[in-house]
């Protein structure tokens, strides 16, 4: 995993902390622009590596926006600073969530999508910590607000999470069930989760429990795909699944 300390781009200020987001890479559609998806990298990575992979997918109608997370101290790495969408100490059901960092990154992503044309379908995807941030954005969309109560402004049409987990899972169901509008939005949002059985970084059980939590919280339009022998990386078969999912769910023209 590579570390990036780029300080280009816009900053996010949430409460006491302020972090500068790194460089954003954009892959322009080769055909008719029908959808824009923000794709989020994993811990210690940057937007460039994923932009190169996404550029080669047979999805000419999608514009990809690949931002780079801020460089911040990460508790999981003993406080070592690297690019991270939020702070994380350990992966467990009982670990505290960095809602301040999550809200800051979710707001940055929403801001990237806010200038897209009105007729363009919008989505968020990601790998590992990027997947976790995408799923957190999905919960903000359903509730109509960030964790800090500020309104969530984007109408999301799809979410993709590869080798990730769901932050804020403990309280999600009660938050969604407390609002009829949140129940409606959760049920309407297509989510694709993919996870390798042999993932040694984000164990498979966290992908599985995230899927169960989302489903029980009202995200009924959810597909959970598992891959035998797959560790903490992606393979062509998985990316084919992503392509097929996006083409079908977003109604893209001539993408395959």
Name the token pair of 238: 């998985």
Q: What's the whole-number average pLDDT of the chain? A: 90
pLDDT(5) > 50? no
DSSP tag of 202: S
- The CA-atom distances, in angstroms, between 66 and each of 13, 85, 153, 178, 251 are 20, 13, 20, 34, 22
Tens digit of each residue's pLDDT (9 = 90 or more) over 139-164: 999 999 999 999 999 999 999 999 99
Whether 26 and 37 have beta carbons less than 8 Å apart is answered as no
d(CA 216, CA 110): 26
d(CA 82, CA 15): 21
**What pLDDT was estimated at residue 178?**
85
Tens digit of each residue's pLDDT (9 = 90 or more) over 206-247: 999 999 999 999 999 999 999 999 999 999 999 999 999 999
Q: Is this model's pTM higher than 0.75 or not?
A: yes
DSSP tag of 164: -
Distance from chain centroid for Cα 67: 11
pLDDT(92) > 80? no
Select which of 128, 137, 163, 210 is catalytic. 128
Select which of 83, 199, 211, 255 is catalytic. 199
Q: Is 199 a catalytic residue?
A: yes
Select which of 41, 108, 195, 232 is catalytic. 232
d(CA 202, CA 193): 13
The CATH class that applies to domain 11-249 reads alpha beta
d(CA 254, CA 38): 21
Residues with Cβ < 8 Å from 218, sequence gap 6 or more?
A: 142, 173, 176, 177, 182, 183, 186, 187
Q: Is 232 a catalytic residue?
A: yes
């Amino acid at each position: 995993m590579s570390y990036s300390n780029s300080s280009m781009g816009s900053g996010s200020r949430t409460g006491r902390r302020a972090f500068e987001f790194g460089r954003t890479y954009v892959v322009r559609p080769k055909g008719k622009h029908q959808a824009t998806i923000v794709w989020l990298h994993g811990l210690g990575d940057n937007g460039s590596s994923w932009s190169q992979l996404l550029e080669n997918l047979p999805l000419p109608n999608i514009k990809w926006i690949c931002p780079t997370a801020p460089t911040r101290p990460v508790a999981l790495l003993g406080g070592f600073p690297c690019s991270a969408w939020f702070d994380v100490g350990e992966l467990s059901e009982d670990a505290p969530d960095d809602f301040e960092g999550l809200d800051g990154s979710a707001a940055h992503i929403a801001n990237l999508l806010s200038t897209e044309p009105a007729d363009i379908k919008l989505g968020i995807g990601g790998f590992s910590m990027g997947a976790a941030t995408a799923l957190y954005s999905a919960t903000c969309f359903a509730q109509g607000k960030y964790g800090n109560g500020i309104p969530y402004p984007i109408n999301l049409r799809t979410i993709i999470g590869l080798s990730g987990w769901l932050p804020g899972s403990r309280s999600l169901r009660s938050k969604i069930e407390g609002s009829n509008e949140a129940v409606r939005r959760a049920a309407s949002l297509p989510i694709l989760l993919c996870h390798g059985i042999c993932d040694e970084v984000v164990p498979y059980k966290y992908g599985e429990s995230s899927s169960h939590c989302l489903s029980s919280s009202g995200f009924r339009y959810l597909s959970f795909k598992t891959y035998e022998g797959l560790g903490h990386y992606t393979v062509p078969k998985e990316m084919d699944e992503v392509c097929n999912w996006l083409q079908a769910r977003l109604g893209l023209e001539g993408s395959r």
